[in-house]
Amino acid sequence: MHPIAPAAERTTRLAGTRAWIDWQAPADAPVRIAELGVGRSSFAGGGEGEERCVALVGIETLGGGKVGTAGKRHVDGVAGQRLRYRSHRQSASGDVHRLEIEQADDEAGLSVRSIIEHRDGIDAFRFRHELTLDAAAKQPTPLAYISSFALAGLPWTSDARLWTAANPWSAEHRWRAAPLSGYGLHDSGMHRYGQRGTKNRIAIGSAGAWSSSEYLPMGALEYGEGERVLLWEVEHNGAWQFEIGDRVGGLYLSVAGPSDPEHQWHHYLGPGETFATVPVTVVLSDTGIEGAAAQATAHRRALRRPHQDHETLPVVFNDFMNCLMADPDTEKLLPLVEAAAAAGAEVFCIDAGWFDDDPGSEPGPGGVPGWWDSIGAWRESAKRFPGERGLAEVIDRIRDLGMVPGLWLEPECVGVHSPTADALPSAAFFHRDWRRVSEWGRHQLDFGNASARAFVDERIDELIARYGLGYLKFDYNIDAGIGTDLNSDSAGDGLLSHNRAYLVWLEKLLERHPGLTIENCAAGGSRTDQALLSRLPIQSLTDQQDHRLMPPIAAAAPLAVPPEQGAVWAYPQPEFTDAENTFTLASALLGRVHLSGRIDLLDPARAALVKRAMDVYKSYRHVLPTAIPRWPLGLPAWDDGLVCLALEAADGDW
């Protein structure tokens, strides 16, 4: 990396690429982006004077206020407005080009390093910022909001539409595009009277530990008939938000992780300490939402941790969905193992319940299984798996038939009636106001705590060694709320620390077990985010049990999840007609096949149909890791009568 001489008013271009960032560094204002572009696609961030611009890094502190009357909007925070340009430099590592911009508030002792990356061949930028307080500072800086990406001067035209994706449980990936007025933002005309805007905003986000339980951490602005699209994605497994508002006749966009007003997050940055924002990627397209999807897919593939599963795409049989439904035992599993192998499955995952020593117990509140509030020891049930070999009898049969054995776990949760709840120190769990958090009969482990990590590591390493497991399904069925205030500056800060510690823990687990495949699941798709997808090779898309409702989920998912990572349930049944069994199988064939259902009870003709579908899938699955999604009929609505997803192979063949 080499320094560049101090800038004048504007610096352009990332050396040697198709990308450019025009940015301004006035002597009396913070750095701001004037234009962002790749190839023919660009979005202006200036125009009509300084009033229309926003700072490259928006920063708010507790009690620090904002410049002017911004209302709930996260723009013009005083702390961000005090920053001034100090230096910048460019560098390259392989195909990744980096621009770093340094700003500082000398009086407060706060410096900010903005890291903007662009990868050759992908029309996208990745933004993140690092805030450091001078070691000589006399007191901490109480951070309350930091934007990861901010751009203003976006055109507010009649053809501007905002894309968002509601993500309700079992109806995930509900993309819609609407004019800004459809989200409640209207042109009041007040900017013509010297006001910056209407003071309200469109605000989309997620609070708590489920990153996508209400909305996917994404959005896009589209202009015209798809002529230009700006798409953004928050790469974080916890709380996040983005907002769009009007500003002097144009629009601004601000994207961030957790904040104080929305997520009860604040962080005291101490002298000599550094805080990093969550990463945000922005994609530019001049070929509509499909073009943006293609570039976002390429970015995700380039960013993620390499894994053999991305290439081999094995067919996974899981005994849960419309099958054993968390009630396994030796007698039920052995016929399913035989049927799965005959159907062509290559992985057999035993889902929840294998640890339950009270089979046949009455369901708990909300209809959950009787074991719901006692999980956490992760020991096999001697009642469900009797005999000298216990669960190993089933595991060995899975392996003997050429399949990789797997188990379901919920590593972040401990039932309130589990012996583990008393065995671990209290600090291993989330707390609020000195009370241990309980949610739906579970406690939340804090992966920022060494005892919590050590316990889960010990159990998982033991299970892998004992059974020779090659596959684990990590589920997460509670949302533990806004976080933990034990040993943290705020509840939201405790959640952020846990989120980040969990990602590091995952990486270390995969380093210890490089051949292990881990599936990401959270009540279906309630934690569908790129922080986890960049580390875990397969993502459960949904818990939808009705095969007739699966197509709109499976067809829309590739806008957020690469097709080789998105797992779709296919659950043939003996009582289904041939058309119904064909329907449930077809829904999964352009993603990752998660086979389930009572295939052990199928007659020979229906069993042959399942086998034929798996053989067809295996004949082309090698195309999926480089395929690009297309939607010839548009992204599907929930009640569309006709749904279509196409994958364009790398060689151009459909």
d(CA 111, CA 38): 29
CA angle 492, 495, 501 (to 5 degrees): 145
pLDDT number for residue 61 = 98
pLDDT number for residue 11 = 55
Cα-atom radius of gyration of the chain, to the nearest Å? Answer: 26
**32-38 and 41-44 as β-strands: parallel, antiparallel, unpaired?**
antiparallel
Class of domain 8-303: mainly beta
Residues of the chain with pLDDT under 50: 1-8, 47-48, 654
CA count, 13 A, side-chain hemisphere, 115 = 14
**19-24 and 32-38 as β-strands: parallel, antiparallel, unpaired?**
antiparallel
The H or E element containing residue 503 is helix 491-512
pTM for this one? 0.96
d(CA 130, CA 82): 16
Q: What are phi and psi of 153, to 5 degrees?
A: 80, 10
Going by C-alpha positions, the residue among 237, 292, 289, 307 that lies closest to residue 564 is: 307
The H or E element containing residue 586 is helix 578-586
Contact 135/110 with Cβ under 8 angstroms?
A: no
d(CA 488, CA 434): 12
d(CA 537, CA 270): 37
d(CA 233, CA 533): 13
d(CA 530, CA 559): 12
pLDDT number for residue 394 = 98
SS3 string, 77-146, reads EHHHHCCEEEEEEEEEECCEEEEEEEEEECCCCEEEEEEEEEECCCCEEEEEEEEEECCCCCCCEEEEEE
d(CA 174, CA 557): 9
Residue found by looking up tokens 């700006």 in the block = 230
Residue found by looking up tokens 């073009």 in the block = 291
d(CA 122, CA 281): 11
